[in-house]
Amino acid sequence: MKQLYFGDCLDVLKDMYDRYPQGLIDLIYIDPPFNSKRNYNILFEDVNMADTKAQREAFADTWSNVSYKDTLGELARINYYLFRFLENLDDIDIPKSSVAYLSSMAIRIHYMRKVLQETGSFYLHCDPNMSHYLKLICDLIFGKDNFRNEIIWSYQRWTGATSKFQSMHDIVLFYQKSKDKALYNTLYEPYSDRSKHKAKRFSNLKDNGSLEQSYTGDTSRMKSMRDVWEISYLNSQAKERLGYPTQKPEALLERIIKASSNEGDLVADFFCGCGTTIAVANKLGRNWIGADISHLAVKLILKRLTDPIAENGKKEFLSTLEINGFPKDIDSAKQLAKSDELLKKKSKHGAFDFQHWVVEFLLGGIRNPKDIADGGWDGYIIFPKNNNEKGRVLIEVKSGHVGIKNIREFIRVIDKEKADIGIFVCFADHLTKPMKLAAKEAGKYKPYQFDRIQILTIEDIFDDREIKMPGGVEPSTFKLSVKDVRPENKPPEMF
């Protein structure tokens, strides 16, 4: 089982519990937002996650906006003591946003325990701002006797002078569903720094805290691992760094996954972000489930999983995955478009709609932050030109009926915005011959011999038809629909 879910993990968990009331997961690790005052999911505009100047918010942290009174009402029906604890917090001098955050976490952790097998383990990554509250919540959900460790992840970063001791650690709370039945594989570390170099010969200990072997070799010079872990923080030069601000080092997840699961077991992360848990679980031969409320995060995870695979093996690997929450065929794509149109008529906007799916997920572009209405453009792609210049492709997505008028309006937008290329997306049964002719008459993008205005249908994207543009773009890992295309007749550069 290798499954990714786009959506609120609470919906995923409830559905999972309905289908598997006896539990199915061996290990859950989560690294949720730490508090209600920070933006949680931040991704970068550049496809390679490298352009920090183009950083943009994937979604604003909504914990403080949750209708937590409804959540408290639900908790009152399923865990009365947990409800009473949160209700009392709500009555004292604690910010409402903190109570909202804790209520949202409590209902989700409740269902995470439900979907664990009796032998399963739960790890909650948090920081000192909320760890004391979360510890009490987990005690009420798992039972205080099933608390195993407060793991301290200690690291170092460069900072200047401070008015207090530097905050250089995170906390990971470790629980088991049943301490008498739970799986635990003992991990080892050197007795001291002095014996570290000797230990390397026996267990292949890396400087970043990762142990390559599965700790079954000679442990005579090793001791059972402590609950304080010195693991390097991911600096900007780290090889595994993706540009995701809350990214955790793989060495941290490697320890957790090896300690509380075996090969073939099922590992889950319901706030999977950039997918460190998923990537490590995959490398270690575990099955996995990942969920995130950001569709860009889901795409980043797919890219992270497929990047190490040779191009001819990517599709085979992707065929082994199940991706939930996105249209899987033309009928479901039309259903998304239809529901999106209904929402717009009611002046409501969800976290995800048809245009976002096409622009950001299928085509790997960036959504227009102004959300211009009909007659504008929905997104763009940047490509490299000569002399370090950047070209721009504008994308217009139409979910309903279209005609030659729409093409002509789009051409005017391309001219006004001084864009290099335009991509017009619609369904195949809405495309007409006059539309194709109008696009052709807009001419070629010189000096390349491909159309300046390109019409791409949703059916084309599902059939892997490519966008033609200089240098190409990163392939879409959902359908591999936008390939790295370089025109064969590209003239040599003069400088």
Q: Domain residues of the chain, as ranges?
A: 2-187+225-324, 330-462
Q: Read off the pLDDT band of 197 (50, 70, 90).
A: low
Q: Read off the pLDDT band of 355 (50, 70, 90).
A: confident
Residue 366 has pLDDT above 70, yes or no: yes
Q: Greater confidence, 381 or 41? A: 381
Non-local (6+) Cβ contacts of 27 within 8 A are 120, 121, 122, 123, 256, 257, 260, 261, 265, 266, 267, 268
Task: Specify the CATH number for 2-187+225-324; select among 3.40.50.150, 3.30.43.10, 3.40.50.620, 3.40.50.970.
Answer: 3.40.50.150
Residue range 356-371: mean pLDDT, rounded: 80
Q: Greater confidence, 325 or 459? A: 459
Predicted TM-score (pTM) of the model is 0.75
Q: Read off the pLDDT band of 49 (50, 70, 90).
A: very low
Angle formed at CA 73 by CA 72 and CA 78, multiple of 5 degrees: 90
CA-CA-CA-CA dihedral for 300, 458, 5, 305, to nearest 10:
-30
**Cα dihedral sign for 392, 393, 398, 403?**
positive
What is the CATH code for 330-462? Answer: 3.40.91.30
Exposure b/e, 201-236, CB count within 10 A at least 16 = b: ebbebeebbbbeeebeeebeebeebeeebebbbbee
**% residues pLDDT > 70 (the chain):** 76
Q: Greater confidence, 200 or 380? A: 380
Residue 246: its pLDDT value, please?
A: 65
Q: Read off the pLDDT band of 372 (50, 70, 90).
A: low
SS3 label, residue 170:
strand
And the tokens for 114? 């439900």
Residue range 339-345: mean pLDDT, rounded: 61
Residue 474: its pLDDT value, please?
A: 43
**% residues pLDDT > 90 (the chain):** 42
CATH topology of 2-187+225-324 equal to that of 330-462? no
Distance (Å, whole) CA 50 – CA 249: 18
Residue 131: its pLDDT value, please?
A: 92
Q: Greater confidence, 405 or 54? A: 405
Q: Read off the pLDDT band of 345 (50, 70, 90).
A: low
Residue 487 has pLDDT above 60, yes or no: no
Residue 301 has pLDDT above 50, yes or no: yes
